[in-house]
């Protein structure tokens, strides 16, 4: 053998060796862990220049088995120490750096025993045994001798030649395990068990007999003691261990054992294991199978508790991927995330945005409040951002003042997403010492796929856009200036403008009269929204309603119109005028929540108006097919006395029958039918039957877009109740409506304009 010299008092007996070999099987033996596992690491060690091939498993195993006992790696040819662990200092008094490169003689009690040891080691080598266990006297740095126990294992090179040994040394002074040659196997076994006890895990031998039953033939280790487990339980029920392994590792382990059983391949896995009545820990499982004479397969192996390593691995991973100040993912992590979502989004041809946020005035904040508070502010911003983004979005940190946000824009418009980001800065931030700091932000935006197809390009584009925003006064956000992104930019600006207009109340209702076809009396008014821009420009709804629908702004828009219409009716009534039903147009979006109903109660009923005075028009197409939700909300409004009209009837595909399930009062025949009525006999026939059916269903019928008296006459003959169109009047401002209202109030023969 190799290192630490055979002890000096008594010569070793053969029992020492044979028993040692037997024991060594438990830790794997030569075949188990060293030569056949070819995961090698190359380490420049020792004093020689050439590089040694060291079996990583051999080292690993030794180090783990050692607990806090010294481990020595010694070159056989020169007997020089190539490596040793820190525990060497506790036992021998030398620091590792002092011993590396020295011959092992310094650790032996005298030259004689060192030489005797050399002879012994040669003998072991010639016997071809790879490892053994025995006791020696050794010497500390201060000259004191002490009894020690050794587990030694040889390491072989690629040609099968031993070139180094690994020794685990245990000082047995205190345990009283003084070297006592002759106790043979029992002593070795006890010694080994004692070593195994210091193992953070357990060592085992598990045998599967040809009939498939498993049993443990050896079990020892610190894990049992640590968690108060009884190894006998495991012995009695060998599958108990597997039940503690969590999925998916349990399945993988079972597969691995199956393979190992057939092919005699070693097992090397990391699994999570729930200690009965204890925590979940990480175990590293390593074992080597071999076939026994009776056909059974035996695995010699160990399970090591590597939870701490895993923890620090995860901590290291966190350190490497997260920003230290904010705890947010760092730039590399954001890149990795981007690469991942690019792959997914490309497949489904989707899009997303990368926003680069520049927190304004960080330098001044740091100067005025100190760096600690500056850091805290960034942390607060990071937290708020995380609170406002969607589940698929990612907030990260790029550099000193920069924050990165990856925004999914599948379910939310980009403008909305941006607004959310900006809203984070609406309120000042309260720091730990209750200091309040206000901050603002400039945002650069890059869009996938327009502005880049790789993570790198997108970040670069967002950065460029951020720089642009930074340079431009009053610019809160900027897009990466690439032509493909232009449309998006225009849209976002338009959307912002519309949002501002709604907030500023620049949207106002105009009114168009609905007249009875019997006597042209005023039966109703339709409120049609107009955008009165501050510069005097009047914008028709077709220019902004589609955008409002797409962005969800339609909800706010309709509520604004409702409020203004209610206020207008109130004003007319206050002036002593009679007011017919005034209908507002309402997006079917409103009927997916109760917000509109609440607004109606608030604006109309609580305002003291007749509950039925404001009618509601909903287009056939916007209703979609989910009538159930719409039905619920419509009904509760109908109970209040509200009248609903089906708008643009005939442009969609719904049958009158299906629409009649909903509580409609009025049907409005679309302009396209009306304009065709004079020229197209077929359309006329359809219109006629439509009017008949509506009649039968008890619906009031209004024809839209009536421009000529010929159309008026035809419609009257077809039995249509009322009409609306340029023939009578286009939609006009509220002030122009007064004249008509007086008519209703009793002035009989007022000419229709």
Q: Given the complex with Ca ion, which of 18 and 672 has the nearer CB atom?
A: 672
707 touches which of Ca ion, ligand C2E, none (CB within 5 to 8 A by kind)? ligand C2E
512 touches which of ligand C2E, Ca ion, none (CB within 5 to 8 A by kind)? ligand C2E
Nearest-angstrom CA–CA distance, 421 and 389: 8
The gap from C-alpha 188 to its chain's centroid, in whole angstroms, comes to: 53
Q: Given the complex with Ca ion, which of 16 and 648 has the nearer CB atom?
A: 648
In the complex, the smallest distance separating the C-beta of residue 705 from Ca ion, rounded to whole angstroms, is 8
Nearest-angstrom CA–CA distance, 288 and 428: 63
The gap from C-alpha 742 to its chain's centroid, in whole angstroms, comes to: 64
Phi, psi of 653 (to 5 degrees): -115, 5
On the 0-12 / 13-18 / 19+ scale of CB atoms within 10 A, 258 is exposed
Q: Given the complex with ligand C2E, which of 188 and 619 has the nearer CB atom?
A: 619
In the complex, the smallest distance separating the C-beta of residue 704 from Ca ion, rounded to whole angstroms, is 5
In the complex, the smallest distance separating the C-beta of residue 523 from Ca ion, rounded to whole angstroms, is 15
Q: Given the complex with ligand C2E, which of 149 and 670 has the nearer CB atom?
A: 670
171 touches which of Ca ion, ligand C2E, none (CB within 5 to 8 A by kind)? none
Q: Given the complex with ligand C2E, which of 29 and 705 has the nearer CB atom?
A: 705
Return residues touching Ca ion (CB under 5 A).
585, 617, 647-648, 704
558 touches which of Ca ion, ligand C2E, none (CB within 5 to 8 A by kind)? ligand C2E
In the complex, the smallest distance separating the C-beta of residue 645 from ligand C2E, rounded to whole angstroms, is 9
Q: Given the complex with ligand C2E, which of 149 and 558 has the nearer CB atom?
A: 558
494 touches which of Ca ion, ligand C2E, none (CB within 5 to 8 A by kind)? none
747 touches which of Ca ion, ligand C2E, none (CB within 5 to 8 A by kind)? none
In the complex, the smallest distance separating the C-beta of residue 424 from ligand C2E, rounded to whole angstroms, is 31
Residue nearest to ligand C2E (CB): 725
On whether the CB atoms of residues 283 and 271 are closer than 8 A, the answer is: yes
* 226: CB partners within 8 A, 6+ apart: 200, 305
Nearest-angstrom CA–CA distance, 151 and 135: 9
In the complex, the smallest distance separating the C-beta of residue 733 from ligand C2E, rounded to whole angstroms, is 13
Q: Given the complex with ligand C2E, which of 147 and 725 has the nearer CB atom?
A: 725
In the complex, the smallest distance separating the C-beta of residue 557 from ligand C2E, rounded to whole angstroms, is 6
Angle 117-118-120 from CA coordinates, rounded to 5°? 65
Q: Given the complex with Ca ion, which of 189 and 617 has the nearer CB atom?
A: 617
Q: Given the complex with Ca ion, which of 370 and 546 has the nearer CB atom?
A: 546
Phi, psi of 317 (to 5 degrees): -60, -45
- Bridge partner list, 753: none
Q: Given the complex with ligand C2E, which of 205 and 708 has the nearer CB atom?
A: 708
On whether the CB atoms of residues 720 and 703 are closer than 8 A, the answer is: yes
177 touches which of Ca ion, ligand C2E, none (CB within 5 to 8 A by kind)? none
Alpha helices (H) in 166-248, listed in sequence order: 184-197, 222-226, 231-236, 240-244
750 touches which of Ca ion, ligand C2E, none (CB within 5 to 8 A by kind)? none
List own/partner pairs for 386-394 with CB under 8 A and 24 or more apart: 386/328, 388/420, 388/421, 388/423, 388/424, 389/417, 389/420, 389/421, 392/341, 394/329, 394/334, 394/337
In the complex, the smallest distance separating the C-beta of residue 549 from Ca ion, rounded to whole angstroms, is 14
Helices (H) and strands (E) in the chain, counts: 27, 28
User: What SS3 state is found at 244?
Assistant: helix
Q: Given the complex with ligand C2E, which of 249 and 712 has the nearer CB atom?
A: 712
On whether the CB atoms of residues 409 and 351 are closer than 8 A, the answer is: yes
In the complex, the smallest distance separating the C-beta of residue 488 from ligand C2E, rounded to whole angstroms, is 24
Q: Given the complex with Ca ion, which of 396 and 615 has the nearer CB atom?
A: 615
In the complex, the smallest distance separating the C-beta of residue 546 from ligand C2E, rounded to whole angstroms, is 9
Nearest-angstrom CA–CA distance, 617 and 565: 14
On whether the CB atoms of residues 246 and 293 are closer than 8 A, the answer is: no
545 touches which of Ca ion, ligand C2E, none (CB within 5 to 8 A by kind)? ligand C2E
Q: Given the complex with Ca ion, which of 75 and 617 has the nearer CB atom?
A: 617
Return residues touching ligand C2E (CB under 6 A).
512, 528-529, 540-542, 545, 554, 558, 561, 584-587, 617, 647-648, 671, 705-707, 725-726, 730-731
- Bridge partner list, 215: 207
In the complex, the smallest distance separating the C-beta of residue 731 from ligand C2E, rounded to whole angstroms, is 5
540 touches which of ligand C2E, Ca ion, none (CB within 5 to 8 A by kind)? ligand C2E
Give the torsion through C-alpha atoms of 689, 693, 696, 698, to 10 deg. -120
Report how far apart, in Å, the C-alpha atoms of 157 and of each of 34, 101, 648 are.
9, 20, 88
309 touches which of ligand C2E, Ca ion, none (CB within 5 to 8 A by kind)? none
Q: Which of 124, 201, 153 lies closest to 32, judged by CA?
A: 153
In the complex, the smallest distance separating the C-beta of residue 711 from ligand C2E, rounded to whole angstroms, is 9
726 touches which of ligand C2E, Ca ion, none (CB within 5 to 8 A by kind)? ligand C2E
Report how far apart, in Å, the C-alpha atoms of 648 and of each of 364, 366, 520, 654 are.
59, 61, 22, 11
In the complex, the smallest distance separating the C-beta of residue 356 from Ca ion, rounded to whole angstroms, is 44
On whether the CB atoms of residues 162 and 121 are closer than 8 A, the answer is: no
554 touches which of Ca ion, ligand C2E, none (CB within 5 to 8 A by kind)? ligand C2E
């Amino acid at each position: 053998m190799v290192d630490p010299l055979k002890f000096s008092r008594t010569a070793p007996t053969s029992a020492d060796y044979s028993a040692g070999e037997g024991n060594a099987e438990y830790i794997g033996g030569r075949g188990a862990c060293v030569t056949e596992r070819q995961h090698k690491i190359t380490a420049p060690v020792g004093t020689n220049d050439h590089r040694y091939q060291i079996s990583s498993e051999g080292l690993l195993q030794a180090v783990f088995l050692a607990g806090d006992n010294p481990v020595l790696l010694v070159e056989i040819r020169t007997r020089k120490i190539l490596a040793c662990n820190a525990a060497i200092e506790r036992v021998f008094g030398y620091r590792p750096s002092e011993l590396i490169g020295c011959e092992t003689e310094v650790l032996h009690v005298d030259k004689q025993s060192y030489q005797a040891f050399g002879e012994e080691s040669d003998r072991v080598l010639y016997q071809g045994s790879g490892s053994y266990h025995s006791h020696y006297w050794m010497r500390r740095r201060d000259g004191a001798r002490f009894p020690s126990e050794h587990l030694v294992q040889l390491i072989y090179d690629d040609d099968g030649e031993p070139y180094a040994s690994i020794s685990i040394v245990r000082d047995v002074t205190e345990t009283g395990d003084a070297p006592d040659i002759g106790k043979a196997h029992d002593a070795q076994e006890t010694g080994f068990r004692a070593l195994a006890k210091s193992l953070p895990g357990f060592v085992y031998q598990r045998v599967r007999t040809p009939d498939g039953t498993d049993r443990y033939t050896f079990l020892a280790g610190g894990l049992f003691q640590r968690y108060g487990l009884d190894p006998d339980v495991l012995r009695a029920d060998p599958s108990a261990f597997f039940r503690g392994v969590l999925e998916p590792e349990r399945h993988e382990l079972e597969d691995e054992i199956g393979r190992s059983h057939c092919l005699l391949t070693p097992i090397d896995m990391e699994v999570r294991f729930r200690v009965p009545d204890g925590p979940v820990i990480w175990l590293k499982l390593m074992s080597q199978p071999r076939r026994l004479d009776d056909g059974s397969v035996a695995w010699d192996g160990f399970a090591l508790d590597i939870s701490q390593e895993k923890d620090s691995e995860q901590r290291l991973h966190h350190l490497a991927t997260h920003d230290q100040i904010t705890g947010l993912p760092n730039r590399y992590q954001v890149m990795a995330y981007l690469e991942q979502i690019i792959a997914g989004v490309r497949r489904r041809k989707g899009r997303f945005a990368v926003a680069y946020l520049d927190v304004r005035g960080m330098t001044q904040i740091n100067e005025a409040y100190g760096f600690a508070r500056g850091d805290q502010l960034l942390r607060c911003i990071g937290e708020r951002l995380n609170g406002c983004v969607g589940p698929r979005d990612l907030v990260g940190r790029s550099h000193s003042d920069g924050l990165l946000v990856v925004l999914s824009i599948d379910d939310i418009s980009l403008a909305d997403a941006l607004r959310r980001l900006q809203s984070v800065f609406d309120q000042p931030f309260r720091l730990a010492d209750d200091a309040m700091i206000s901050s603002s932000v400039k945002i650069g935006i890059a869009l996938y796929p327009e502005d880049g197809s790789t993570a790198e390009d997108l970040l670069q584009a967002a950065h460029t856009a951020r720089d642009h925003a930074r340079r431009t006064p009053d610019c809160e956000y900027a897009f990466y200036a690439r032509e493909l992104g232009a449309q998006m930019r225009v849209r976002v600006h338009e959307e912002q403008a519309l949002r501002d207009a709604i907030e500023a109340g620049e949207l106002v209702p105009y009114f168009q009269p609905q007249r009875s076809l019997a006597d042209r009396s005023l039966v109703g008014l339709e409120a049609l929204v107009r955008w009165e821009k501050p510069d005097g420009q009047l914008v028709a709804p077709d220019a902004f309603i589609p955008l409002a629908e797409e962005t969800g702004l339609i909800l706010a828009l309709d509520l604004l119109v409702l409020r203004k219409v209610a206020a207008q009716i109130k004003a007319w009534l206050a002036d002593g005028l009679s007011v017919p039903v005034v209908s507002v147009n309402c997006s079917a979006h409103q009927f997916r929540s109760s917000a509109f109903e609440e607004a109606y109660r608030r604006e109309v009923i609580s305002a003291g108006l007749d509950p039925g005075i404001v009618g509601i028009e909903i287009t056939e197409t916007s209703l979609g097919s989910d009538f159930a939700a719409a039905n619920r909300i419509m009904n509760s409004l109908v109970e209040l006395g509200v009248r609903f009209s089906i708008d643009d009837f005939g442009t969609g595909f719904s049958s009158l029958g299906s629409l009649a399930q909903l509580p409609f009062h009025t049907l409005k025949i679309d302009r396209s039918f009306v304009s065709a009525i004079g020229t197209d006999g077929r359309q006329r026939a359809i219109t006629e039957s439509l009017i008949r059916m509506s009649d039968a269903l008890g619906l009031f019928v209004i024809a839209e877009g009536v421009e000529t008296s010929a159309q008026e006459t035809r419609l009257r003959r077809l039995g249509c109740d009322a009409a609306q169109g340029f023939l009578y009047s286009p939609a006009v401002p509220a002030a122009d409506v007064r004249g008509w209202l007086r008519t209703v109030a009793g002035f009989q023969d007022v000419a229709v304009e």
